[in-house]
Structure formats: structure tokens, C-alpha cells
Chains A and B, each alone.
Chain A
Amino acid sequence: MAALRKSPETEADGGSTTLGEEARVIDLASSSVRELNAELHSPTARRYRVLSPRGTHAVAVGIDDDLDVHVEGDVGYYCGGMNQRGRIVVDGMAGPGLGENMMSGSIRVRGDASQSAGATARGGLLVVEGKTSMRCGISMKGVDIVVGGDVGPMSAFMAQAGRLVVCGDAADGLGDSIYEARIYVRGKVGELGADCIEKELRDEHRAELVELLTAAGMTDVAEDAGALGEFRRYGSARTLYHFTSEHAGSY
């Protein structure tokens, strides 16, 4: 792996992340994504910097280790897919399927994310500091997702479990056919999806919201009572849990 090299600490940190000494550098201008993922699956370091991703697909997928991976640039589809325990930061934009089926660990994208961010993810924390396109949190199964900006249409479609926090607006179809996931939105919400309703936001929910925002590093919002007061909670009316023809229009 010719392009693997050690990087001194001074070079390591693209901003506020915690990359320490001995971050290994993998430059995708000269290494393949295969070499990158092979290294991450049998790691010889704890910290990695990934340079020049230039929209490459499947960056840092299938991590099953306690690793810090700092990607310096935009990534294509499925970055961080099925992540377990890894802590991935993308200093750029992310394509579709960001963190799909993540199990644990964390993924943070400093820019925007495309469609299906956090699709079917079962655990861990996914933070998108910018906005996401449609179907954010589709079929989510336990992950926590915090989005700094807006989410596109049909977000949290068939969301089964976990929590989605949207600091901006949510487009039409939010929570369509939702099961037991909980959604918090600060901004405007378009037409709600089938079986999704607004629910009372009680103290325990406010506490949960503060916890999620804090975990996501959005302390300015978490500590601002006024901002917190603007959030509303959405979840399942549970009217589609049993199949009847009276609901034919909703299926």
C-alpha cells in the first residue's frame, strides 16, 4: 500500500475532531478504496486520515473496530455503511445511503447528505450538520440521527425504532407508515405521512432531545430553552398496525 504514510499530529486535525498522533494517511488519489477498506478491516493503526475521496463510493464501509476515521473531502454512496464502533467524520458532502445499516459508533458529516441517510441503521449516532435529501432515516431500526438543517420528503418512512432530530424543516411525508421511532422537528413540517401524528412533547422527551443534541455536539441549541421550546414531537398513531380494509386508502 504505497500511499499509506504516517502523519504528524500537526497535520492530522482538519478542525475540531480528536485525531491525535499517529494518524495513518490513506490518499485515495493514489490508493484504491479496496486498499482503504482492507486496511480498516485489519487495522494497523487506531486513527486514519482519508485524503482526496473525490466522491468515491463505499468509503470506510464495514468497520468493525474502535477506529477514528477522518475523511477530508466529499464521499459518494454508502460512506460508513454497516459501521460498527468506528467513529467517522466526513469533512465534506456525503452521497446516498450514508451510514446505511450502521450498528454502533458514530458518523458525522460536516456538510449535507443525499438520499437515504441512515437507512435501516440499527444503532450508533449519525450527525449531519447540514441538510439531507429525501428518505433520511428510512426504515431506521434503532439509530439516533441528528440533522442540523432540513430533511427531504418521506423522511423516517417506515421508521421502526430510534430517534430522528431535525433542527430545520421536514418536507412532506414525514414518518409515513412509521412504527415506534420518535421524531423531533424544530422547523416547519410539511404534510405528515400516513399514520404519523404530532404527539405531546413531555419532560422526558425534552430530556431525550437535550441528550441527543448534546451528543451531536449541537450544544448551542441544546442549551437554548427558547430553541428547545420550538421542537415538536411526531410518532405513530398506530392505526396501520392491523390490516383492515377501512384503511385501504393509507396502504
Chain B
Amino acid sequence: MTSPAERGLRESATFDRATIAGIQHAAEHGVYDIRGWGAKRAVPHFDDLLFLGASMSRYPLEGYRERCDTDVVLGDRHAQQPLHLATPVTIAGMSFGALSAQAKESLGRGASEVGTSTTTGDGGMTEEERGHSKTLVYQILPSRYGMNPDHLRAADAIEVVLGQGAKPGGGGMLLGQKISERVAEMRTLPAGIDQRSACRHPDWTGPDDLAIKILELREITDWQKPIYVKVGATRTYYDVKLAVAVGADVIVVDGMQGGTAATQEVFIENVGIPTLAAIPQAVQALSELGMHRKVQLIVSGGVRTGADVAKAMALGADAVAIGTGALVALGDNHPRYAAEYEKIGSAAGFYDDFQDGRDPAGITTQDPELAARLDPVEGGRRIANYLRVLTLEAQTIARACGKAHLQHLEPEDLVALTIEASAMARVPLAGTDWIPGRSGF
């Protein structure tokens, strides 16, 4: 059969098939679509940047021979025990509840093997996670599910979450299918209900309060642990300045492409700014305060490859965090589950129903049979492999740019392919010395 296009039929750019399906879904069910994953629309991204390798005017380093270090210290502004990670690629906060215990354990195993950190999420710390993660960052979210001072003291760092790139200004949601007995108990909620988590913290509101909240957390943990502040990318320049002012040791900026376990589609696609636009704002804020590299910047939202890692770092990030990429490494959206994805109305490469707990790959589920498909030892191996590849790829690029440390990458190493990316990333359009909005017009 010939395709509609071959028959001369024309699809609307405004009312494309996904839009039509969305309207029909709303009309049918009277509820908006809630899903996982991150923004699916195309936005200016790391793909729109290229590196200028060394040649005559710059000196490259010998691949596989000359050192290119990758380690990073996080949180040495105020904490007595800053983290020292072997690679700047960290695992982002994803809750037990959103993820199966097996998935959390896999992340811990993989990260520990390569010397990086993992992060808890909305739902508290599990013993498996603490046990298998050499370096574990403990999130404090508005819901405070499972919040426990023993866990605070057992953590290696503390991350106060103000927002996520997928839903800046939004609270959390975990639908009843995923509220198993164990998840319910950890969150002090009845099993099986649709659980809402607040978007504002219960015991502080503005930055003046947050400064005192951070003081309290430091007092509770005797000033030992680094305190991160995580924000979804929106008014990043101001948020980062305020985060420095409230006393953060580390600031996590999560761009709009960042993944989520369950958020309204309308939120995911329409709120927040791209990661690419957020990084220079954050770096500008830090630099103006004389805090660049003193308060470390972790960037997340759409980091997939070592090139993305290198680009984020060249723009001024100290480290990155990955969520979706790590789930894919564990087997999310793998073609081997194609038939099962079809059965639940999706397809390999398109699956985003992290909220409904039927994940064939056993990652975003609390169903014991599905979760048992993921072997944490094998999962850990895959995560470690992926993290190593990301690091090696970033090193490859850094050496080509003549850098003996990933942190030596700089904006001067980059050019942009599009005017939009050039304006957002504040690096010149390739082949020109033009940065829109910066160097004339």
C-alpha cells in the first residue's frame, strides 16, 4: 500500500498526528496525559555545537598516551567532607518507587565501579541503594517522603530539590499502580492510591528561609556534608545567584529536556528552558560572584554521549548528571521488548509510560515479576560500561583540544551550527566570529 504522502495527502504541521491523538485522548478520557521521559520536541541542544580540535595554533595531546584527567571535587565551599569523584558523570536523582529496587541497585553498582555518585529521589533512601552506592547523594524534596535524619547522616551529600527541568514549578506524582506495600510504607501513605507530592517545601518559602534551612541541615550533619541545590532551568541566572547566596556548595541545573517519572505532557513540553540556554546563564551568575569552580555546577537534561559531557563542561559545568541515558543503558526502550511494548500500546524507542508501572524492561515498575527481569549485577555492569564510554569519549575530545583535564575545556573550544544555538550557548556561529546579541547584530 502506498503511504499517505505518496498518495499526495498532506499532514498538517499545526494539527499533526500526535496533536490529533492528544485532542482525542482528552475528549475520550477527560484527563490530561501524564507520562515519563522528558521533552520530545526538538530544541537547540548540544548537537548544535561543534569542537574546534587543535591543529596549528593549538597543540593536541596524544590519545591513549598523554594524560587527560577526569576527576572532580564537589562541595569544598563549606563542607568538611567534599566528594572527590573519578569521573564528572554522575547519576541523577530518581526515586525508589519510580524505579524498581533492582534498577536502583544497578545504578549504585555501576556508579560505584567507576567512582561516581548516585542520588536518591522522592521516596527516601533504601538500604539496597545505600549499600550498593559508594557515594550517595540524599535528596530533600517538598514531599519529604521517608525523610529521616539517620539517612541524612548516612548520606555523602545532601541535595535540596527546588525543581526539575521536566517540571519547574511542579510537584510530583506517583500513580497508584506503582504504590506497592513497600513504597507506601516508605512514604507513609495507603498502598494503591494516586500519590501527589507538593511543589513547595513545607517549612520554607523564599531564599531567605532557604538559607536558614541549609543552616539547619548543616547543623544536623555537623557541617560535614556538601549541600547541593537543584533547580529546573527557567530564570537560571537569578536562581544560581540566589543559590550561591543561600549557601549552596553545589548547584544542579536541570534543563527542560530532563527526564521525569511522571509529569503532565503539557508541563514537560512547555515549561522551562533548554539545557543549552541554561548553562551560560549559570556560569555567568557564578563568574560575576567570583564563585565559578568554587561553587560547583552540575548540569543535567539530555546528556547522552561523551560529546555532550565535553560540551557541557566546555561551557563551564564542573560535572553532569544523567537520568534517561542511564535507564536506556539498563535496557529501557530496547528492541528486544518490541512485542511487549506493542502490547501496551507503545513501541521500542517511543516508550514513555514510566508512570504506569508496566515497564517490560523491569526498570520503572514495582511489579515483582517485571522487576525480576533486571539483574542488578548485569545492570551494574551495563551502567559502568556506559559511564566509562561517556568518560572516554569526553577525554577523546578534550585531548583533541589539547586539554590535560576535562575541566580545561572552555567556550573558546566551541562553535555553533545554528544562530539559535550560538545565541543561547554564547559561542560563535561556526566559521564566523559572530555571537547574536553579543558581538553587534
Contact = CB atoms under 8 A, between A and B. Distances in A.
B31 A243 contact: yes
Contacts of B212: 57-58, 76-78
A138 B202 contact: yes
Given A38-B222, A81-B216, A135-B202, A179 B190 contact: yes
A62 B221 contact: yes
Contacts of B188: 122, 141-142, 160-161
B143 interface: yes
Interface string B121-152: 00000000000000000000001100111101
A116 B202 contact: yes
B97 to A, nearest CB: 15
Given A58-B219, A244-B31, A139 B143 contact: yes
A10 interface: no
Contacts, number: 110
Interface in A209-240: 240
B147 A97 contact: no
B23 interface: no
A101 to B, nearest CB: 5
Contact of B203 (A62, A78, A177): A78
Contact of A62 (B31, B144, B187, B219): B219
Contacts of A84: 149-150
Contacts of B203: 78, 96-97, 100, 115-116, 119-120, 138
A242 interface: yes
A245 B219 contact: no
A171 interface: no
Interface in B211-251: 212-213, 215-216, 219-223
A35 B149 CA distance: 19
B196 interface: yes
Interface residue SS majority, chain B: loop
Contacts of B149: 62, 64, 82, 84, 101, 103
A34 interface: yes
Contacts of A145: none
B138 to A, nearest CB: 13
Interface in B28-44: 29-31
A61 interface: yes
B347 interface: no
Contacts of B187: 160
A158 interface: yes
Contacts of A179: 189-190, 193
A100 B194 CA distance: 25
A84 B209 CA distance: 23
B377 to A, nearest CB: 34
Chain A CB within 10 A, most for which of B152, B202, B222: B202
B198 interface: yes
A33 interface: yes
Given A82-B152, A84-B149, A120-B203, A160 B189 contact: yes
Contacts of A58: 212, 215-216, 219
A37 interface: yes
A180 interface: yes
A41 interface: yes
Contacts of B31: 243-245
B15 interface: no
Contacts of A180: 189-190
B175 interface: yes
Nearest to B187: A160
B202 A139 contact: yes
A96 B208 CA distance: 12
Given A58-B212, A242-B176, A139 B198 contact: yes
Contacts of A41: 222
B219 A61 contact: yes
A138 B30 CA distance: 31
Interface in B149-207: 149-150, 152, 175-176, 187-190, 193-194, 196, 198, 202-204
Interface in A125-165: 135, 138-139, 141-142, 157-158, 160-161
A32 to B, nearest CB: 10
Nearest to A161: B188
A81 B198 CA distance: 20
A115 B219 CA distance: 21
Given A100-B203, A180-B190, A245-B31, A61 B222 contact: no
Nearest to A236: B190
Contacts of A245: 29-31
B295 to A, nearest CB: 21
A141 B186 CA distance: 11
Contacts of B189: 160, 179-180
A242 B190 CA distance: 12
Contacts of B147: 101, 120, 122
9 A-B pairs with least C-beta separation: A62-B220, A97-B203, A245-B30, A82-B149, A120-B144, A241-B193, A119-B202, A119-B203, A78-B216
Given A242-B193, A245-B31, 19 more contacts: A58-B219, A62-B220, A62-B221, A64-B149, A78-B203, A84-B150, A97-B203, A100-B216, A116-B203, A120-B203, A138-B203, A139-B198, A160-B188, A241-B176, A241-B194, A243-B175, A243-B194, A244-B30, A245-B30
Interface of A: 33-34, 37-38, 41, 57-58, 61-62, 64, 76-78, 81-82, 84, 96-97, 100-101, 103, 115-116, 119-120, 122, 135, 138-139, 141-142, 157-158, 160-161, 177, 179-180, 240-246, 251
11 contacts: A82-B152, A101-B147, A103-B148, A122-B188, A138-B203, A177-B196, A179-B193, A241-B193, A241-B194, A242-B193, A245-B31
